[in-house]
Structure 1
Amino acid sequence: MEPNPKQPHTLPPTYFDKVYEANQDPWNFETSPYEREKYAATLAALPCTHYKRAFEIGCSLGILTAQLAPHCGYLLAVDVAEAALAQARKRCANLPQVDLRQLRVPEQFPQGQFDLILVSEVGYYWSPADLARAADQLVAALQPGGQLVLVHWTPPVHDYPLTGDAVHEFFLEKAQPAGPLRHLHGQRHENYRLDVLERR
């Protein structure tokens, strides 16, 4: 998938800075029954009970991060918005295995390999070209047998470059018989879908 000037651009960090400036919890992560149910479904879908090294992209306020941390020896959680990370640091202050950093994937990507990578409610912010670049980085960062968990809102949002379905279908193409991933299982709910893939 080559960059195309007619394709939409990845949403910049300033987009998220303005969103958090207007509202500390713009997507109601702390209070929404939808979010609570989705977090529970995400944790229940994990194939393993413990991971040595996990990587969460787009951790926002750190609510799912705090719930995921007990399953991890080390959890690197990143976001582009410092305002969100400030709240995540408070929430995860007593979780020494959590490493919170301001990082913009795919322009920036951490060193090392992981046995779990979580991409939850972030893939549709990328342009098609950045999705392809990020996907290559994520696959390369997964240990053999490591798992990639995708969770995304599926209704279209007018200012997002992609839909959740487009993100998942792109990764599922890498789970064809000759691809680097295999699809372990998936589920579709009213407004989101969840897919778990594994590095061959």
Structure 2
Amino acid sequence: MTYNSASLTSDFFEALYQQNSDPWQFETSEYEAQKYLATLAALPHPLYQSGFEIGGSIGILTEKLADRCQSLLSVDVSTIAQSQAIKRCHRLTNIDFQMMSVPQEFPDKSFDLIVLSEVGYYWCREDLEKAQNLMLDQLKPQGHLLLVHWIVDARVLPLTGHQVHDTFLELVPTRLKQLKSLSTTEYRLDLFEKI
């Protein structure tokens, strides 16, 4: 069931980060720490040529993904969050930070890894489908798409984590191959490979 018909805007996220520099406790949460370990463990390759992280927030996962990518593009809609990410990752020269609102904006380059972690349920269904098509267009053949989302019901969000993942599962086996799937009581992880 969808509870909110519109995608959440950059204003929503800027207001959150103005009130709290780490609104989801990315730095201190045991849940987040375990989820990051599972996220990195799910990646089949030790090193990717070009990675794309949608919604990098304050850069906790960004910093970890940078160890697995020769180059990493991390985008976010919040200037406050991204300024924290830039400070956190200042010593890492392989990360390019850009302000970008996906799917209205999307990089014109190809990637062999795209990570969508805790972002998809902020989009309405139409925007999710637009983003999905853009991701698949820019993902190289045999490239990996990693989805990780909280699956606890939150009625303020346009979609649930399950709805986001199920939308990509609909593309198996025509456009994607599912390589891994993991569900806990709190989050769901799915790894796909572009056919």
CA deviation after TM superposition for structure 1 residue 7, in Å:
6.8
1:101 corresponds to which residue? Answer: 98
**Matched residue type, 1:197:** F
Uncovered stretches (5+) of structure 2, i.e. residues with no partner:
none
1:185 corresponds to which residue? Answer: 180
Query: Which deviations, in whole Å up to 9, do the C-alpha atoms of 1:97-139 show, x marking residues without a partner?
Result: 0011110000000011000000000000000000000000000
**Matched residue type, 2:12:** Y
Are positions 1:161 and 2:158 aligned together? yes
Task: Tell me, yes or no, if the aligned pair for 1:154 and 1:164 is still in contact at 8 Å.
Answer: yes
Uncovered stretches (5+) of structure 1, i.e. residues with no partner:
1-5
CA deviation after TM superposition for structure 1 residue 158, in Å:
1.6
Counterparts of 2:69 and 2:98, CA distance in 1: 17
Alpha carbons of 1:32 and 1:17: their partners in 2 closer, same or farther (altered >3 Å)?
same
CA deviation after TM superposition for structure 1 residue 150, in Å:
0.1
Counterparts of 1:25 and 1:72, CA distance in 2: 25
Task: Tell me, yes or no, if the aligned pair for 1:143 and 1:199 is still in contact at 8 Å.
Answer: yes
The runs of 4+ residues in structure 1 deviating greater than 6 Å are: none
What TM-score comes out, normalization by structure 1 length?
0.95
Task: Tell me, yes or no, if the aligned pair for 2:4 and 2:159 is still in contact at 8 Å.
Answer: no
Give the fraction of aligned pairs with identical amino acids, expressed as a percent. Answer: 47
What TM-score comes out, normalization by structure 2 length?
0.97
Query: Which deviations, in whole Å up to 9, do the C-alpha atoms of 1:69-96 show, x marking residues without a partner?
Result: 0111100000000000000000110110
Residues 139-158 of structure 1 correspond to what in structure 2 (within 5 A)?
139-158=136-155
Alpha carbons of 1:187 and 1:84: their partners in 2 closer, same or farther (altered >3 Å)?
same
1:72 corresponds to which residue? Answer: 69
User: Match of 2:191, SS?
Assistant: strand
Are positions 1:34 and 2:24 aligned together? no
Task: Tell me, yes or no, if the aligned pair for 2:4 and 2:155 is still in contact at 8 Å.
Answer: no
Counterparts of 1:10 and 1:93, CA distance in 2: 31
Partner residue of 1:195 out of 176, 190, 194: 190
Task: Tell me, yes or no, if the aligned pair for 2:146 and 2:191 is still in contact at 8 Å.
Answer: yes
Task: Tell me, yes or no, if the aligned pair for 1:53 and 1:116 is still in contact at 8 Å.
Answer: yes
Superposition RMSD on alpha carbons, in Å?
1.0
Task: Tell me, yes or no, if the aligned pair for 1:7 and 1:128 is still in contact at 8 Å.
Answer: no
1:24 corresponds to which residue? Answer: 21
